[in-house]
């Protein structure tokens, strides 16, 4: 039941000798979601031992090259591994054209199906909603159409207290409903407690709390984002600059570390992970210190590192 984020690269605009470009992999209960695909993403996946065949969804925030120039390389290397199953891409207008045009100009045809979902960069949109998880996009404030994504687990079923099955002679056919919260009344005349309603709380224990992750890059500080990421366990928010560059950050559609900390505080998230650092910074501890000054539970996003959200038991 893992829920963990692996950062492939943390550099903004251009790679540095120690930092690759934007790309992250969210592992949600062994389903892998690739978020942004800067140049070098396929190499990073290989270096970090992340199986491309397990990635069925790729989410692109926007079409600046440092977030998307690695995508076609990932697609073609997936094909080299004999992939046959569907891959779905999500991203703002132009993503499908970018992929199709590159394929056409390079005389390439994908041997596996690729579906491209164009994401509305002006309003929040539900992209996936199944019984295990949901993914929503929401607008970010950047120089070109740009979206963030929020991934949420669905609440799991309650856990049956095994000893209660025998104690109340619960038929196998009733267990599914009880795990979903139903009470139980035994109608079997051979059962001494026939007709007595057994409350669900006596039969089950609560499931762990569902976990969540939000991705915000690239964006200027914008309080309208708060409503979309409120209360997530893990927030990745870009920290391109230190606050000495606040005016420049605003002009270029980016955030300072201080602003990322403010966003984490306003949205009441569990933990903040920084990233998308300007290549002017070799030393990142100033970024960390600045974000921590307003949001203490901040960790530095570092290339190749994994950040886990543990399962937390819901109080009885
Ligand atoms: Zn960028
Ligand atoms: Zn950008």
Residue 140: what pLDDT?
Answer: 98
Report whether 24 contacts 236 (CB < 8 A).
yes
Assign 35 to helix, strand or coil: strand
Residues with CB under 5 A from ligand 1 (ion): 66, 218
Beta-carbon count within 10 A of 242 CB: 20
Residues 190 and 244 in one domain: no
Assign 45 to helix, strand or coil: helix
Let me know how long the chain is: 316
Residues 178 and 74 in one domain: no
Distance (Å, whole) CA 35 – CA 51: 15
| Ligand minimally distant from the alpha carbon of residue 279 | 1
| HSE-CB for 212 with a 13 A CA cutoff | 22
Going from the Cα of 95 to the center of ligand 1, the distance in angstroms, rounded, reads: 16
Going from the Cα of 65 to the center of ligand 2, the distance in angstroms, rounded, reads: 8
Residues 114 and 248 in one domain: yes
Going from the Cα of 241 to the center of ligand 1, the distance in angstroms, rounded, reads: 12
Closest to 285 (Cα-Cα) out of 255, 242, 238, 254: 242
Going from the Cα of 212 to the center of ligand 1, the distance in angstroms, rounded, reads: 23
Residues 126 and 217 in one domain: yes
Summary mean pLDDT of the chain = 95
| Ligand minimally distant from the alpha carbon of residue 11 | 1
Going from the Cα of 122 to the center of ligand 2, the distance in angstroms, rounded, reads: 16
Distance (Å, whole) CA 51 – CA 274: 25
Strands 212-216 and 204-205: unpaired
Strands 204-205 and 159-160: antiparallel
Strands of the 271-273 sheet, one edge to the other: 125-129, 133-139, 147-153, 212-216, 234-237, 271-273, 298-299
Confirm whether 61 is domain-assigned.
yes
Which ranges of 149-300 does DSSP label H, i.e. alpha helix?
162-167, 175-179, 226-229, 246-252, 257-266, 285-292
Closest to 299 (Cα-Cα) out of 310, 287, 282: 287
Residues 167 and 87 in one domain: no
Beta-carbon count within 10 A of 265 CB: 16
The residues annotated as belonging to the active site are 66
Residue 267: what pLDDT?
Answer: 98
Q: Pick 69 or 170 by higher pLDDT.
A: 69
Residues 182 and 101 in one domain: no
| Ligand minimally distant from the alpha carbon of residue 66 | 1
Burial class (CB in 10 A: 0-12, 13-18, 19+), 75: buried
Phi and psi torsions of 127, nearest 5°: -100, -40
Distance (Å, whole) CA 106 – CA 100: 10
Cis peptide before 187 (omega within 30 of 0): no
Residue 285: what pLDDT?
Answer: 97
Per-residue pLDDT at 204 exceeds 70: yes
Per-residue pLDDT at 316 exceeds 70: no
User: What CATH code is carried by the domain that includes residue 74?
Assistant: 3.60.15.10
Going from the Cα of 3 to the center of ligand 1, the distance in angstroms, rounded, reads: 25
Going from the Cα of 276 to the center of ligand 1, the distance in angstroms, rounded, reads: 7
Confirm whether 313 is domain-assigned.
no
Burial class (CB in 10 A: 0-12, 13-18, 19+), 303: buried
Our count of domains for the chain comes to 2
Which percentage of the chain shows pLDDT scores above 70?
A: 98
Residues 69 and 193 in one domain: no
Confirm whether 315 is domain-assigned.
no
Residue 315 — pLDDT band, cuts 50, 70, 90? low
Going from the Cα of 127 to the center of ligand 1, the distance in angstroms, rounded, reads: 23
| Ligand minimally distant from the alpha carbon of residue 220 | 2
Residue 141: what pLDDT?
Answer: 98
Going from the Cα of 253 to the center of ligand 1, the distance in angstroms, rounded, reads: 10
Residues 254 and 165 in one domain: no
CA 77 to chain centre: 23
List of residues 6+ apart from 162 with CB closer than 8 A: none
For the chain, the distance separating the N- and C-terminal CA atoms, rounded to the nearest angstrom, is: 21
- Residue-number span of the structural domain to which 33 is assigned: 3-155+212-308
Tens-digit pLDDT profile for residues 15-63: 999 999 999 999 999 999 999 999 999 999 999 999 999 999 999 999 9
Report whether 238 contacts 216 (CB < 8 A).
yes
| Ligand minimally distant from the alpha carbon of residue 14 | 1
């Amino acid at each position: 039941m893992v829920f963990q984020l692996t950062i492939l690269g943390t550099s903004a605009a251009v790679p540095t000798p120690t930092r690759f470009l934007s790309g992250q992999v969210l592992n949600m209960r062994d389903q892998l979601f690739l978020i942004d695909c800067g140049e070098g993403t396929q190499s990073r996946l290989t270096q970090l031992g992340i199986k491309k065949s397990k990635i069925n969804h790729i989410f692109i925030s926007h079409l600046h090259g440092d977030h998307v120039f690695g995508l076609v390389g990932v697609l073609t290397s997936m094909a080299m591994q004999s992939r046959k199953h569907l891959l779905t891409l999500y991203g703002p207008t132009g993503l499908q054209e970018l992929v199709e045009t590159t394929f056409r100009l390079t005389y390439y045809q994908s041997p596996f199906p690729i579906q491209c979902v164009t994401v509305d960069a002006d309003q929040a949109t539900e992209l996936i909603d199944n019984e295990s998880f949901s993914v929503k996009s929401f607008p970010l404030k950047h120089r070109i159409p740009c979206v963030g994504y929020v991934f949420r687990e669905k609440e799991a079923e309650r856990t049956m207290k095994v000893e209660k099955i025998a104690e109340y002679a619960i038929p196998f056919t009733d267990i599914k409903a009880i795990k979903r919260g139903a009470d139980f009344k035994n109608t079997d005349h051979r059962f001494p407690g026939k007709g007595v309603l057994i409350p669900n709380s006596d039969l089950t224990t609560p499931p762990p709390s569902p976990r969540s992750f939000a991705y915000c890059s690239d964006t200027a500080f914008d309080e309208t984002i708060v409503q979309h990421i409120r209360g997530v366990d893990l927030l990745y928010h870009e920290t391109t600059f230190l606050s000495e560059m606040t005016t420049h950050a605003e002009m270029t559609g980016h955030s300072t570390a201080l602003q990322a900390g403010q966003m984490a505080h306003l949205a009441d998230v569990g933990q903040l992970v920084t990233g998308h650092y300007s290549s002017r910074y070799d030393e990142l501890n100033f970024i960390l210190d600045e974000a921590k000054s307003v949001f203490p539970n901040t960790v530095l996003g570092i290339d190749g590192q994994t950040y886990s959200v543990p399962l937390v038991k819901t109080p009885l």
